[in-house]
Amino acid sequence: MKTLESYKEGTVLLIDKPLNWTSFQVVNKIRWLIKQQFNIKKIKVGHAGTLDPLATGLLILCTGKFTKKIETYQAQVKEYTGTITLGATSPSYDLESEIDQKFDISEISQEDILKNTQQFLGEIQQQPPIFSALKKNGKRLYEYAREGSKIEIPSRSVTIKEFQITKIELPYLEFRIVCGKGTYIRSIAHDFGRSLNNGAHLSSLRRTKIGEFRVEDAIDVFEVEKLIKS
């Protein structure tokens, strides 16, 4: 059984984030459970790398003094698997917003798809989606998006170490990506569609690794209560 002192000194919790939960909701849940268990008013809890609500998978949580390690974990290489849907785009680059354009994919070949992954490898310039929590002029980008405001979003360098299409069943492409800090997989999906002179969006995403941490070693958020009380 973990003691209050162990949570204050620092604990790493590996959580398999469920669909439709925000990363912030997971942090709040864990913080509340620890506070309830030990009848305290405050405990530091943070996560090392946001997952969108529509993504599942590995979320590293740190408690107490280990929250100082969050930046170190955030900087580590990450692995994702998921599905890109060709032939349709959305403003958020995923299914958080409605499909806004559709395209004919009948001329796209398997060879075109596999060949196009090559241009996404290495250090590339990527434009983050406007539906993101990044800030511009002190305001979250998604706030501009919801207002319908058009703003210029600067591109930034990200590193893609591996990009594999693991299954093609048009319009669906299953993939595996290994990438560095700050990469938006939604943007890769969107840009992959454009690279084929077409459109695409991210339709599912799962984070499977952060550095040496694996989702297979993570626990369901609903099992955390048992862990904390055990």
Inter-residue contact 86 to 202 (CB < 8 Å): no
Q: Which residue in 16, 52, 94, 191 is the catalytic one?
A: 52
52 assigned to active site: yes
Q: Is the dihedral of CA 6, 8, 13, 18 positive or negative?
A: positive
DSSP labels for 143-201?
A: HHHHHT-------EEEEEEEEEEEEEETTEEEEEEEE-TT--HHHHHHHHHHHTTS-EE
Distance CA 226, CA 66 (A): 22
Looking at the annotation, which residues are catalytic?
52
